[in-house]
Structure 1
């Protein structure tokens, strides 16, 4: 019987006991290198293309999860791709989440009596569980982990191990949401035996949280939307409602309660300031870490001064789509109707308050608005973004306001974070600064375009800036060898998703003239 992938101390720097498993899990030896270091170096065999890109997958015994279905997709796509450098990046990127980030997974084969009935930190860790790290930071982001699994959702109906992996991820996210709904990134559950990651940021947050449970507690509406998306995609691709457990419904109610709490006005009917249930302060050497280089943006903002359009747009979509899931499951019509109504109202609010008139581009979506007529016109590379509105399912890419917005945010005069240099261009953001653009923005640009030339140019730019055979967080626009994060699994997932979308819809771009579409089966 073959053994599979469960990260051990050598690969991840942790004292973790590997658990016996089926053919998708293996015991990793202490010879496995730390992947942050491994990914920053080039390894053979190299691609046959002009860039001679390296092969960056860990050896099989060091991979954290494996699936024959995933390997088949890799073979199908790479054998068809004309561009062998592009094929090498896909070969590295598509399985990157499975290869490197499944830090803890408990399924039927390795579930001990302790795991079957384990309640710690006021959480229920019994049954299927999956903890997925973002990459070079040993913590799980709700946003990242959902997107890291998106590419495998289509295979879950055929591969029971992938099915259980994703179902376990939903259950783990449910506990995170129940435990700390205002937090965005989490530690491995204590029952896993994995030591918590140290976060050197000094934050003061209310409600308080345990550092053994939470890695970072910045409230992000889209983190909660991504929790809904993970379960929704699971249902859409498998038809299963197995994830709709009592704990999932409790997490859903926690999401709704959090939305309601954050929807309360800053001032009451007597114009008196009312302190919100959630507050966040960070000790830092600059006035506002997230806005340190944002042009024309004040360093200090009044409480809840700004409302971001993209996360609200995403939440409106996920509420409505989750309503559809509940309808399909049956027995939850009242709750489904509530979610549908909430989603509809939120979408209407985004259109009513988020659309503003630009003197050059006409009606566009603002990135942020306040309650006093103020707005910020820009975009950020992170998803959700204005560029990603069709990707999120909020509108069709042919929507005229979106097209106006797209022209604005992909131009230097319309978006202060559209960055151009001698080697690279794309949308960046305040997170990194004014020298680095994110490959993710170009991949989303490709996924939201119908123009074959634009799609190819975006993919080629990403290819030419991925000299380590992996997709980075950001690239210096004047030097593609200068990047942030060698191991950033979400970006690799978006790359693979882009290639699969183009392969299905415009195969000639990737496979040559008269090529047949390829869809994951």
Structure 2
């Protein structure tokens, strides 16, 4: 049974859950990877990395899960071909056959450190960077795209959306992070390889359009061109006030229609997304200068980053009921703010992982602690574990992504070990990460094929093997 993310939304958790796999028997556990002949792409460097890291993992089930999850993007989601003699990589999310700018970037990130030594793997990165640039030039407000750039969307939930749907667009939810993640991927690839090949005139044009879109959504001179309405019985699927979003006061922050969960914002200034934008705009400047020699593009990116950073310093914080000064989740520029956190990254909890704050920054540490507590209405704790969820799937539903990001952000061995144990014990016997699991029953979960979460889990294990190998040596 293949479950789409939107089927989970329509049916709720009960309609979206999958039964646990049968008991797996004694170790060694059988591989859940496709047969070698059926894999979409194989990297020798990745295969060596699986073997290298697996040898460090003393827990048999954790070792099995790593070997299943880490190559999942390459095994199942990469569609590699050439366009005009250059590589094109269309990377689907998993159970939804479309490319999300955010997900596709995050899905390849765990392999960045291997790209320098593996030429075919560099081809995949070049192909995705090129595909993302072409997609942004189709529509910088879209979050998801079709493989055929001339095709209309086939996503059932997007067919009647009231917005400007162009050919090649699968869904048109304006999310700041949709433009941030390609900047992050470009910087990561440049830092890892010093390969200037992908950073051509088309890439620079897409980068300039991204900056122009951010500036348009500062809404200094009116509401801008973006509108979005959807007929739905879920308020998080559409935007109020004729598709413009709730009222705001222009203060220099970038307006956001939807969160990285694809849920509509309550207040239009999504603070973790604005913080991420500041970080990646500065990274974009590095690539523009270093790979392209484009000082003007670098200056455009830096100037906007500085402006948004000043606005965040003035408008991005709030006080909780206990008096704690923390980053807000969303604000409106009038002084109204909400505190919560959502598992999808960029999140408040993920700011350290994303490099938006220093790991020991007191403001972020207070914010992170509050997000991982009852101060966050989407923090859940039950028999199966504790973690952060969000409105997207509903109450009581913990996202493994929140546990992975917590472990990636922590210097505390006990915290990392606790996250690993929960992740190991909540896969429902499948050997993979899921979108969510019920706080009391991990056999109740959504999305059996969610490549971003699988890759993020693999990234965590590789990181621990490098920085804290002793945590992996013994069974959990």
Q: TM-score, normalised by structure 2?
A: 0.87
Match of 1:430 among 391, 405, 410: 391
Q: 1:76 to 1:255 in 2, by over 3 A?
A: same
Equivalent runs, 1:262-281 vs 2, <5 Å? 262-265=217-220, 274-281=222-229
Q: Which has the higher contact order (CA 8 A, sep 6+)?
A: 2
Contact 2:229 2:238 in 1 (8 A): no
Question: Is 1:454 aligned with 2:415?
Answer: yes
Unaligned runs of 5+ in 2: 3-17, 249-254, 256-266
Q: 1:417 to 1:44 in 2, by over 3 A?
A: closer
- Provide the alpha-carbon RMSD of the alignment: 2.4
Q: 1:89 to 1:264 in 2, by over 3 A?
A: same
Distance 1:88 1:393 in 2: 30
Contact 1:184 1:219 in 2 (8 A): yes
Match of 1:482 among 444, 447, 455: 444
Deviation at 1:106, TM superposition (A): 1.5
Deviation at 1:200, TM superposition (A): 2.9
Q: 1:209 to 1:77 in 2, by over 3 A?
A: same
Correspondence for 2:50: 74
Contact 2:77 2:92 in 1 (8 A): yes
Distance 2:26 2:63 in 1: 8
- SS of match in other structure, 1:134: coil
Q: How far does the alpha carbon of each residue in 1:348-391 deviate from its partner, in whole angstroms, 9 at most, with x for none?
A: 32232112222326110000011110001000000000001111
Distance 1:91 1:40 in 2: 22
Q: Which has the higher helix share?
A: 2
Deviation at 1:243, TM superposition (A): 1.3
Equivalent runs, 1:30-49 vs 2, <5 Å? 42=21, 48=27
Equivalent runs, 1:332-481 vs 2, <5 Å? 332-360=294-322, 362-412=324-374, 414-466=375-427, 467-481=429-443
Question: Is 1:204 aligned with 2:161?
Answer: yes
- SS of match in other structure, 1:313: helix
Equivalent runs, 1:292-303 vs 2, <5 Å? 301-302=246-247
- SS of match in other structure, 1:390: coil
Contact 1:157 1:237 in 2 (8 A): yes
Distance 1:361 1:485 in 2: 39
Distance 1:169 1:287 in 2: 33
Contact 2:353 2:405 in 1 (8 A): yes
Contact 1:44 1:55 in 2 (8 A): no
- SS of match in other structure, 1:264: coil
Correspondence for 1:189: 148
Correspondence for 1:509: 471
Distance 1:290 1:359 in 2: 30
Unaligned runs of 5+ in 1: 1-10, 12-38, 108-114, 117-125, 269-273, 293-299, 514-521
Question: Is 1:218 aligned with 2:168?
Answer: no
Contact 2:285 2:301 in 1 (8 A): yes
Distance 2:87 2:22 in 1: 35
Distance 1:70 1:405 in 2: 36
Distance 1:361 1:499 in 2: 37
Contact 2:232 2:238 in 1 (8 A): no
Match of 2:457 among 495, 510, 516: 495
Q: How far does the alpha carbon of each residue in 1:5-48 deviate from its partner, in whole angstroms, 9 at most, with x for none?
A: xxxxxx9xxxxxxxxxxxxxxxxxxxxxxxxxxx9885998662
Deviation at 1:256, TM superposition (A): 1.1
Question: Is 1:284 aligned with 2:284?
Answer: no
Deviation at 1:341, TM superposition (A): 2.4
Distance 1:140 1:44 in 2: 34
Correspondence for 1:239: 194
- SS of match in other structure, 1:364: strand
Size of the aligned set, in residue pairs, is 437
Distance 2:367 2:66 in 1: 30
Distance 2:67 2:344 in 1: 24
Deviation at 1:196, TM superposition (A): 6.0
Q: Structure 1 stretches (4+) deviating beyond 4 angstroms?
A: 39-47
Deviation at 1:507, TM superposition (A): 1.2
Q: How far does the alpha carbon of each residue in 1:286-327 deviate from its partner, in whole angstroms, 9 at most, with x for none?
A: 4443799xxxxxxx8347642001111111111101111222
Match of 2:96 among 137, 143, 158: 137
Q: 1:238 to 1:89 in 2, by over 3 A?
A: same
Deviation at 1:330, TM superposition (A): 5.6
The structure whose Rg is larger is: 1
Contact 1:46 1:55 in 2 (8 A): no
- SS of match in other structure, 2:444: strand
Question: Is 1:155 aligned with 2:130?
Answer: no
Deviation at 1:222, TM superposition (A): 0.5
Distance 2:67 2:432 in 1: 10
Deviation at 1:262, TM superposition (A): 0.5
